[in-house]
């Protein structure tokens, strides 16, 4: 199962959306760069997208949000 998620980074006013699995969502909302994060709706699973998002989450742990923002533009 995958979820469409609305989130906002620390020190940003703009909200973004992306698609995450439940496990990714749990990890994503714990990132220090994420100020707000909520599930908007259930969605279809996109395996390729989920793999890319997992790599982006791994980079965000190191405060690199560039890849998450790129994927969010396509969500």
Q: Per residue of the chain (75 residues), what is the pLDDT tens digit?
A: 789 999 999 999 999 999 999 999 999 999 999 999 999 988 776 777 788 888 988 998 888 888 888 888 765
Do residues 2 and 19 lie in contact, with contact meaning Cβ atoms separated by under 8 Å? yes
| pLDDT given at position 17 | 93
| pLDDT given at position 28 | 94
| pLDDT given at position 36 | 96
| pLDDT given at position 68 | 86
Task: Name the domain count of the chain.
Answer: 1
Do residues 54 and 42 lie in contact, with contact meaning Cβ atoms separated by under 8 Å? no
pTM of the entire predicted model: 0.74
- State which residues form the domain around 17: 2-74
């Amino acid at each position: 199962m995958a979820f469409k998620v609305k989130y906002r980074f620390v020190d940003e006013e703009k909200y973004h959306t992306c698609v995450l699995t439940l496990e990714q969502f749990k990890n994503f909302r714990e990132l220090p760069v994420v100020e707000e994060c909520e599930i908007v709706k259930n969605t279809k699973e996109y395996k390729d997208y989920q793999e890319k998002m997992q790599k982006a989450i791994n980079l965000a742990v190191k405060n690199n949000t560039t890849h998450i923002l790129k994927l969010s533009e396509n969500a």
